[in-house]
Chains A and B, each alone.
Chain A
Amino acid sequence: MITLANITGSAPKRVLPGFGLSLGISLTFVSLMLLLPMTSLFGQLSGISLAEYWRIITDGRVVASYIVTIGAAAVAALVNAAFGLLLAWVLVRYDFPGKRLLDALMDLPFALPTAVAGITLATLYSSNGWMGRLLDPLGIQVAYTWVGIALAMAFTSIPFVVRTVQPVLEDLPNEVDEAALTLGASDATAFRRVILPHLWPALVTGTGLAFVRSLGEFGAIIFIAGNAPYETEITALMIFVRLQEYDYVGASAIASVVLAVSLALLLAINIWQGRFIKRLHGGRG
């Protein structure tokens, strides 16, 4: 058995104080607040058979919610990849009046409570809202359709792309531009062949994080989603619905799918990022 004493004992002598204290606080917190609650999910699921578990997570209404959630999240992430790249580029490369304001505005979706974003978007895009009134005559329905779900997802996750691409773009030396242009490349070619390869890892990471966040988002979506079974129900809402029916096992089974997918994606993003950093720094880091 590993005790605190033999962890500290086996390590080389430490100069700085506080190892025991900070290890104690961190481990207590991580086990009580993070790991222990997670185990309750498995405790709840251990009571049912594998067939039962499979039946719950492949129920028609639940599967429809996976499709809606993943589809809308994919659209939102792709839109954000383009929009985020444009904003990061403009914020890093150009000077214009109101730039600081635009930069600050980028963090709004993280600072604004999701429920506030939810009711605001629902009100704006409903048929008598400011945006809805403009879009309705064109036959574009946003509120209470999957487009609204994608919109809410895109709103809450845009900072991920901007804030991951921005620092990489800032660190790119001007010589890169100059070399490409001196050699006669057009702007578009130079961007695609020279700049984009540098930004690619950050762009994929940011888009991936935005996608993961969209998969789990709840507060911003439920108000604009309409929540019609089989059509505009997201998976997070399915968990919520099962809970309101006091079906704890059903809620846990669906939650375990959501949890597994988000953790797997997060791990994949970390590995992808780690591999790229290794390539950049020649095996270090």
Chain B
Amino acid sequence: MQRIGDAPRVRRILVISAVLLAALFLLLPLVAIFAQAFAQGVEVFWRNVSNHYTVRAIGLTLFITVLTIPVCLVFGVALAWLVTRFSFPGRRLLQTLIDIPFAVSPVVAGLVYLLLYGRNGWIGNWLDGYDIQLMFAWPGILMVTIFVTCPFVARELIPLMQAQGSRDEEAAVTLGASGWTLFRRVTLPNIRWALLYGVILTNARAVGEFGAVSVVSGAIRGQTNTLPLHLEQLYQDYNTVGAFSSAALLALIALLTLAAKASLEWRAARQEA
């Protein structure tokens, strides 16, 4: 079989240039993060990471992520079930609407939440009367994080559930399965890997969101500082090693995300074969 670009010379040039460019453009920054974090040795890295404010920032980031994931899961599964199993007017519109968070600049996302739930917004103003403050506090951070991450689970599930069709589920209903049993015994085993991948993406984005969170957080050290905001402050204070120590933690999560994705894809490929 003869194929375009299979001549050894063409092939070599293309592979080498692709690898070099990718190494320079993608791998070098990754290496630089860890090189900077450990520039003054493991001990300094550890002191930076176990610093009181860093620990508080890690805690807040984990807290926000742990609350975000279940919300995105419930919404993602419900939306995917709705648009792939039923046809109704407005189905296409709904599918377009959930892409909004991907198109909107994170700063704009933060801004619209600030306008609505901030003290000057009508809901924020009303809540203020009850002494409830959402913005510049963790609930605001949680809300914008949910906003920017909500499409991931639905996005992973919809194409898969569309391709699988609803025959299995219809059979189960005919055999008398109740709604919950149907979901747990038939749907869930079919979608579990896509669901897991959706959660991994949600997690990566929730941990690392910067633009939207920086608008609504107020970045109070030790209180409303998430890890990305914390590293920004350290960087602005010219504490480069400190900033990169936090960055290395986030980069580690990113690497775990990539590894998880690769292993899920490998599993899927093996199942097909």
Contacts and interface: CB of A to CB of B under 8 A. Distances in A.
Interface string B240-263: 100110010011011101110110
Interface in B1-39: 1-7, 10-11, 14-15, 17-19, 21-22, 25-30, 32-33, 36
Interface in B199-243: 201, 204, 207-211, 214-215, 228-229, 231-232, 235, 240, 243
Q: Is the interface of B mostly helix, strand, loop or mixed?
A: helix
B17 A37 contact: no
Contacts, number: 287
A259 B250 contact: no
Given A19-B86, A34-B97, A178 B111 contact: no
B247 A116 contact: yes
B74 interface: yes
Tell me what chain A mostly uses at the interface: helix, strand, loop, or mixed: helix
B105 interface: yes
Contacts of A14: 86
Contacts of A270: 96
Contacts of A191: 4-5
A96 B8 CA distance: 12
A108 B30 contact: yes
Interface of B: 1-7, 10-11, 14-15, 17-19, 21-22, 25-30, 32-33, 36, 74-75, 78-79, 81-82, 85-89, 94, 96-101, 103-109, 111-116, 120-122, 143, 146-147, 150, 166, 169-170, 173-174, 178-179, 182-183, 201, 204, 207-211, 214-215, 228-229, 231-232, 235, 240, 243-244, 247, 250-251, 253-255, 257-259, 261-262
5 contacts: A11-B86, A37-B116, A91-B18, A177-B3, A263-B103
Interface of A: 7, 11, 14-19, 21-23, 25-26, 29-30, 33-41, 43-44, 83, 86-87, 89-91, 93-94, 96, 98, 100, 102-121, 123-124, 129-131, 154-155, 158, 174, 177-178, 180-182, 187, 190-191, 194-195, 212, 215-219, 223, 236-237, 239-240, 243, 248, 251-252, 255, 258-259, 262-263, 265-266, 270
